[in-house]
A = this chain, B = another copy of it.
Amino acid sequence: MHLWKTVAIVGVGLIGGSIGLALRQRKLAQRVVGIGRRQETLDQARKLKAIHHGTTELADGVRDADLIIVCTPVNAIVDHVVACAAYSSGALVTDAGSTKSHIVQSLDEQLPRGVRFVGSHPLAGSEKTGPQHARADLFEGRVVVVTPTRRTARSDAQAIGQFWEALGARVVSMTPAAHDAAVAATSHTPHVVAAALAAATHTKDLPLVAGGWLDTTRIAGGDEELWRQILLDNRENTLAALERFQASLSDFRAALEAANGAKLKQLLGKGRKRREEASA
Contact = CB atoms under 8 A, between A and B. Distances in A.
A242 interface: yes
Given A124-B210, A211-B125, A278-B213, A196 B145 contact: no
Contact of A276 (B172, B182, B221): B221
A interface majority secondary structure? helix
A233 to B, nearest CB: 11
A75 to B, nearest CB: 10
Interface string A203-219: 11111111111111111
B185 A202 contact: yes
Given A179-B208, A186-B201, A198-B271, 18 more contacts: A123-B208, A143-B210, A182-B208, A183-B208, A187-B208, A189-B197, A194-B271, A198-B270, A198-B274, A206-B277, A215-B215, A216-B217, A217-B275, A221-B279, A222-B272, A228-B261, A235-B259, A246-B246
A76 interface: no
Interface in A154-202: 172, 179, 182-183, 185-187, 189-202
A71 interface: no
A265 B191 contact: no
Contacts of A268: 195, 220, 222, 224, 227-228
Interface stretch (A14-22, A78-86, A101-109, A248-256): A248-256
A268 B229 CA distance: 11
What is the total number of copies of this protein in its complex?
A: 2
Instruction: Please classify how large the interface on chain A is, using the bins under 10, 10 to 19, 20 to 34, 35 or more.
Output: 35 or more
Interface of A: 123-126, 142-143, 145, 172, 179, 182-183, 185-187, 189-225, 227-228, 231-232, 235, 238-239, 241-242, 244-249, 251-253, 256-257, 259, 261, 264-265, 267-272, 274-279
Given A201-B274, A248-B200, A216 B215 contact: yes
Contacts of A277: 203, 206
A48 to B, nearest CB: 22
